[in-house]
Amino acid sequence: MITVSAPGKLMLLGEHAVVYGYPCLVTAVDKRLYVEAEIIDANEDDIITPQVKESRFVLETLSYFKEKFNIRSSIRIKTRGDFSHQVGLGSSSAVTVATFEALNILFNLSLSKKEIFDMSYHVTLLIQGVGSGFDVAVATTGGTLCYVKGGVEMETLSLSNLPLIVGYSGVKADTPLYIRKVSEAFKQRKNEMTTLFESISVLVKKAKEFLISENFKEAGALFTENHTILQKLGVSTPILDTMVAASLEAGAWGAKLSGAGGGDCMIALVDNEKKQTVENAIRKVGGEIIEVKVNTSGVTQEK
Ligand code: PMV
């Protein structure tokens, strides 16, 4: 039996704009999704997923893989995770990448990371219809990436420190709905939306350099600026805005929503000395602190 794990993710900067071809920054987190795969003596595959949502991704991955590589054996796949899909840390992309890698190892195919990414992105698009693939990319490579849609660019940033706090809003975000919302607005107000995406792209590039040089004060200001643009895109919510404002008041370098908007998480860049104060401020306005380590490893076989 093969066991493989892949990490969840956090969008740092550039959400939505990345769907339109602009770069984003994304980091892998230490909440992982585990996939066990083995060949079984049975007439049918056996898929065991505690989270119903994951079974579609596993089923689609398995059928795509079996057809592409002409596999006839029956396979048992079992998943388990360090996190629920509720908080929006990317369990669907992680389970897809981990399943492909487990099958890759099980059948000795020596597929490259790029091939795993391409196939996983294809499968997630089949199911979700929309998306840049940023989550699939970082589940594959791990670390922190500057990413352009479709894997056109996947540059690993060399970071030794990324002092982030994550606050969950208590609301599950509907990512495809918010992607569609932005796409409707884009159709109606193309020039205005393009200007907003371009400003996001400028700050993503600047933030990348500030994060590498550990100039967190400047990077933080860009996080907050990105949040203001996301408000203009119409994807923030009162609870996310309140959590962001509370973090800034408590002394964070910067804060923003993370992901599609409409719920899920916000992130704040915070000096270690102020961590407790900012976390308390987030809790006080109704947010839940999610303890995560960032910049962690990509898809990997477990011992
Ligand atoms: O809601 P999340 O954390 O899956 O992030 C979505 C980010 C978008 O840019 C809105 C969509 C995408 O696929 O890039």
* Distance in Å, CA 131 to ligand 1 centroid: 7
pLDDT at 54: 84
56 lines ligand 1 (CB under 6 A): no
Residue whose Cα lies nearest atom 2 of ligand 1: it is 259
From the CA of 3, how far away is ligand 1's center (Å)?
Answer: 28
Given this model, what pLDDT does residue 88 score? 82
DSSP-derived letter for residue 271 is -
Pocket test for ligand 1, best of 134, 152, 256 (most atoms within 8 A of CB): 134
Asked if residue 175 has its Cβ within 6 Å of ligand 1, the reply is yes
Annotated catalytic residue 135: yes
Give the separation between CA 103 and CA 112, rounded to whole angstroms: 13
Q: Is 134 in the pocket of ligand 1 (CB under 6 A)?
A: yes
* Average confidence (pLDDT) over 128-134: 94
User: What's the CATH fold of domain 2-159+295-301?
Assistant: Ribosomal Protein S5; domain 2 (3.30.230)
- Checking if the pLDDT of 51 tops 90, the result is no
For 213, which DSSP code?
T
Q: Is the confidence at residue 242, as pLDDT, over 80?
A: yes
Tell me how far the alpha carbon of residue 15 lies from the centroid of ligand 1, in angstroms: 6
- 105 CA → ligand 1 middle, Å: 29
Query: How far is the C-alpha of 167 from the C-alpha of 279, rounded, in Å?
Result: 8
pLDDT of residue 27: 98
Q: Is residue 266 very low, low, confident or very high in pLDDT (cuts 50, 70, 90)?
A: very high
Say yes or no: do domains 2-159+295-301 and 164-290 share a fold.
Answer: no
Q: Name which residue sits closest to atom 14 of ligand 1, judged by CA.
A: 132
pLDDT of residue 153: 96
pLDDT value of position 2? 97
CA distance 245 to 238: 10
**300 beta partners:** 5
Instruction: Write out pLDDT tens, residues 30-49.
Output: 999 999 999 999 999 999 99
pTM above 0.75, yes or no: yes
pLDDT grade for 83, boundaries at 50, 70 and 90 = confident
CATH number for domain 164-290, candidates 3.40.50.300, 3.30.70.890, 2.30.130.10, 3.60.110.10? 3.30.70.890
- What pLDDT was estimated at residue 150? 95
Most informative mutation of 95, 127, 132 for ligand 1 (most atoms within 8 A of CB): 132
> Average pLDDT of the chain?
96
Dihedral sign from CA coordinates of 84, 88, 92, 95: negative
257: helix, strand or coil: strand
**Which pLDDT belongs to residue 84?**
74
pLDDT in tens, 134-193: 999 999 999 999 999 999 999 999 999 999 999 999 999 999 999 999 999 999 999 999
pLDDT > 70: what percent of the chain? 100
The pLDDT, as a whole number, for residue 130 is 92
Percentage of the chain lying above the pLDDT 90 cut: 95
The structural domains of the chain, with segments of one domain joined by +, span 2-159+295-301, 164-290
Q: What is the per-residue pLDDT for 113?
A: 96
